[in-house]
């Protein structure tokens, strides 16, 4: 029954994404504000705190607020870092990482509402016949440091400095002011308040204008580039710090065809070149969102697997690959399936 409803892993993942989009964006309307408040304290997740109907809150705004209002202010006053300062921060972050420990970066590939919005726009772009633009390995290498810079400066650095009084108090949550998810999720609830750019100060105007510009760029880019914002999202780098600790991970076995094939690399929404040429731990890269497309399109049995501890959740297989490419090639573009099936039969990548 389940296989009939979800013949491919991609179909199952997209269904989960749509379901989680409704839970994270409209959870408040479904469950009520009291229940949502309890959920937000127990399960900081990926929905935007600016969404008035949200079902839970993003860990990034929690982290910024704790650094701004607790740790930063405590350091500025030269007071001892007491239990009252550390415990709220540790609980918020530790709770998130407890769930992250179980799911690893599947949060990004299966749950994140901004990821789902980009996935929808990507599919619209394909329907409209827009050409798919891929990033070359050199371009990917240049983009990768951006997410670490955003994490260090906007999520951690400026809120801490604002709390210490070194930086303006308006920089208490700078990342949230430029995050495109703030606009995407609130607009999905017909709330246009976050589109307004505050002009009270130069900092507020700059952050608001930058946030609107980034949102517009991501919406347009997502029609032609897969997951454009995910590549620079600081939550991805935040997760990458601890991805090796989780029992959920991507595993790739060494195979003599890999360097010649590169089908998994073409299927990867994040354009990770390492997945096509590396194996073992190196294949599970910091940019990976555990979406599973590389395993779906690998044409050899058990070369790429998604595992929890020693349990195999999904693995590449030749039979699945033949079925998958009938409707979609690795790059998500219309393709003459005869060419692909001929390549499979002749063992050519």
The model's pLDDT over 271-298, given as tens digits with 9 standing for 90+, comes to: 998 888 877 776 788 889 999 999 999 8
Q: Average pLDDT of 23-51?
A: 66
* Beta bridge mates, 58: 45
Which of 275, 180, 195, 273 is CA-nearest to residue 233? 180
Q: With 60 as the cut, is the pLDDT of residue 335 above it?
A: no
In the prediction, which pLDDT does 326 show?
74
Which residues have C-beta within 8 Å of that of residue 237, sequence separation ≥ 6?
147, 148, 150, 151, 286
Number of residues that make up the chain: 349
**Phi, then psi, of 321 in degrees rounded to 5:** -60, -45
| Burial of 118: CB neighbours in 10 Å, binned 0-12, 13-18, 19+ | buried
- pLDDT at residue 341, as a whole number: 37
Q: What was the pLDDT predicted at 41?
A: 55
Rounded to the nearest 5°, which phi and psi values hold at 222?
-65, -20
pLDDT class for 325, splitting at 50, 70, 90? confident
Work out the number of other CB atoms within 10 angstroms of the CB of residue 339. 11
Report the pLDDT value the prediction gives residue 231, as an integer from 0 to 100: 92
Integer Cα distance of 40 and 24 in angstroms:
11
Listed residue (209, 230, 207, 208) closest to 218, CA to CA:
230
């Amino acid at each position: 029954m389940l296989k009939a409803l979800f013949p491919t892993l991609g179909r199952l993942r997209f269904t989960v994404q749509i379901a989680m989009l409704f839970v994270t964006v409209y959870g408040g309307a479904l469950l009520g504000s009291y229940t949502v408040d309890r959920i937000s304290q127990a399960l900081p997740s990926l929905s935007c705190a600016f969404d008035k109907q949200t079902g839970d809150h993003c860990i990034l705004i929690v982290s910024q607020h704790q650094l701004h209002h607790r740790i930063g202010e405590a350091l500025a006053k030269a007071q001892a870092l007491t239990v009252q300062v550390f415990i709220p921060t540790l609980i918020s972050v530790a709770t998130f990482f407890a769930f992250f420990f179980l799911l690893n970066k599947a949060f990004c590939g299966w749950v994140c509402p901004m990821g789902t919005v980009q996935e929808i726009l990507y599919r619209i772009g394909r329907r409209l016949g827009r050409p798919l633009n891929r990033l070359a390995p050199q371009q990917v290498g240049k983009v990768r440091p951006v997410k670490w810079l955003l994490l260090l400066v906007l999520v951690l650095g400026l809120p801490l400095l604002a709390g210490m009084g070194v930086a303006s108090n308006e920089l208490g949550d700078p990342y949230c002011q430029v995050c495109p998810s703030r606009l995407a999720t609130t607009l999905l609830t017909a709330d246009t308040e976050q589109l307004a750019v505050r002009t009270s100060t130069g900092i507020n105007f700059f952050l608001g204008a930058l946030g609107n510009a980034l949102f517009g760029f991501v919406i347009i880019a997502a029609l032609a580039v897969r997951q454009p914002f995910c590549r620079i999202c600081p939550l991805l780098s935040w997760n990458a710090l601890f991805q090796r600790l989780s029992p959920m991970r991507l595993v790739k076995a060494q195979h003599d065809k890999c360097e010649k094939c590169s089908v998994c690399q073409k299927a990867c929404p994040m354009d990770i070149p390492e997945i096509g040429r590396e194996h073992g731990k190196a294949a599970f890269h910091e940019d990976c969102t555990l979406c599973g497309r590389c395993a779906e399109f690998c044409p050899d049995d058990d070369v790429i697997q998604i595992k929890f501890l020693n349990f195999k959740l999904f693995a590449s297989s030749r039979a699945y690959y033949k079925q998958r490419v009938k409707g979609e090639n690795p790059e998500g573009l219309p393709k003459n399936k005869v060419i692909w099936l001929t390549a499979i039969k002749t063992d050519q990548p």
